[in-house]
């Protein structure tokens, strides 16, 4: 009985530490993104706080939109032959609603940023987001290569 309890405790501790390391990595990435965008956009102190207030709301709404979609369709297997045409239609309509919501969130971000930031910097923001994403993916690939080499 003691061995079972010990085993369960170890599994729980491992899962908790793994979840915590993912949270730390996410926090590190967010902090790096904040530095990256602030530097690349050349934000002054006055506009920086306004920018991050608006941008953080945008990011949180995007994450919320994604979470809702993911939770709704986590169990769906599109290869399933049990789906009816109505179920596929509902899935496609929900997907389109999700994409429209993303576009609406981006449009709101642009409107909010136009109040204190130039259109040039606003359009540059979207390119910087893509550049940042690519840079993070490259670092992730490099880390995976290094980890494979070490093993």
pTM higher than 0.85: no
Distance CA 147, CA 151 (A): 6
Quick one: pLDDT at residue 19?
45
Q: What is the pLDDT of residues 20-59, one digit of tens each?
A: 445 558 888 889 999 999 999 998 888 999 999 999 999 9
Q: Where are the chain's structural domains?
A: 43-150
Q: Could you tell me which residue, 129 or 139, shows the higher pLDDT?
A: 129
Contact status, residue 125 vs residue 70, Cβ threshold 8 Å: no
Any idea which residue has 């793994």 for tokens? 18
Distance CA 20, CA 84 (A): 41
| Residues with Cβ within 8 Å of residue 37, at least 6 apart in sequence | 55, 125, 128, 129, 132
pLDDT for 134 beyond 90: yes
Contact status, residue 56 vs residue 112, Cβ threshold 8 Å: no
Distance CA 149, CA 151 (A): 6
Q: What is the pLDDT of residues 73-121, one digit of tens each?
A: 766 655 566 778 888 888 889 889 999 999 999 999 999 999 999 999 9
């Amino acid at each position: 009985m003691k061995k079972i309890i010990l085993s369960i405790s170890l599994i729980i501790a491992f899962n908790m530490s793994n979840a915590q390391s993912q949270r730390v990595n996410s926090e590190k990435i967010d902090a790096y993104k904040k530095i990256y965008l602030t530097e690349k956009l050349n934000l002054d102190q006055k506009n920086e706080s306004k920018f991050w207030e608006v941008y953080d709301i945008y990011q949180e709404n995007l994450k919320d939109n994604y979470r809702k979609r993911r939770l709704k369709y986590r169990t769906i297997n599109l290869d399933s032959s049990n789906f009816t045409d109505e179920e596929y239609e509902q899935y496609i309509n929900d997907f389109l609603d999700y994409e429209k919501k993303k576009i609406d969130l981006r449009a709101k971000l642009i409107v909010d940023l136009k109040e204190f930031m130039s259109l040039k910097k606003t359009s540059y923001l979207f390119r910087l987001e893509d550049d940042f994403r690519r840079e993070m993916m490259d670092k992730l690939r490099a880390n995976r290569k290094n980890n494979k080499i070490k093993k």
